[in-house]
Amino acid sequence: MELRKLGQSDIQVTPIAFGAWAIGGWMWGGADEKDAVKAVQKAFNLGMTTIDTAAVYGFGKSEELVAKALKDTPRDSYQILTKYGLDWTSDEGTFSFDSEDNDGNPVKVYRLATKDRIKKECEDSLKRLQTDYIDLYQIHWPDPKTPITETMEAVAELIEEGKVRAAGVCNYKVEHVNEALKTLPLASNQVPYSMINRGIEKDIVPQAVEKGMHILPYSPLQRGLLTGKITPGYTFSGYDTRKDSKYFTNENIKRANELLAEIKPIAEKHDATFAQLVINWTANQKGVGSVLVGARNEQQVIDNAGALDFTLSKDEIDQITASANKFSLA
pLDDT digits (tens, 9 = 90+) for 289-313: 999 998 888 999 999 999 999 999 9
Closest CA to 85 of 176, 178, 4, 1: 176
Of 94-98, 101-105, 157-161, 194-198, the range with the lowest mean pLDDT is: 101-105
Q: Over 60: is that where the pLDDT of 29 sits?
A: no
State the pTM of this model. 0.94
Asked if 158 and 116 count as a contact pair (C-beta separation under 8 A), the reply is no
Structural domains of the chain in order of their starting residue, each with its CATH number: 4-224+279-309 (3.20.20.100)
Whether 218 is catalytic? no
Q: How far apart are CA 137 and CA 130, in angstroms?
A: 15
Closest CA to 319 of 269, 262, 279, 268: 262
If DSSP codes are grouped into helix, strand and coil, which group holds residue 189? Answer: strand
pLDDT digits (tens, 9 = 90+) for 81-93: 999 999 999 999 9
* Identified catalytic residue from 57, 78, 172, 193: 57
| Residue 162 burial (CB count, 10 A) | 9
- Look at strands 188-192 and 79-84 and give their pairing: unpaired
CA atoms within 13 A on the CB side of 241: 12
| CB contact set of 77 (below 8 Å; sequence gap of 6+) | 44, 49
Please compute the mean of the pLDDT values over residues 195-200 and round it to a whole number: 97
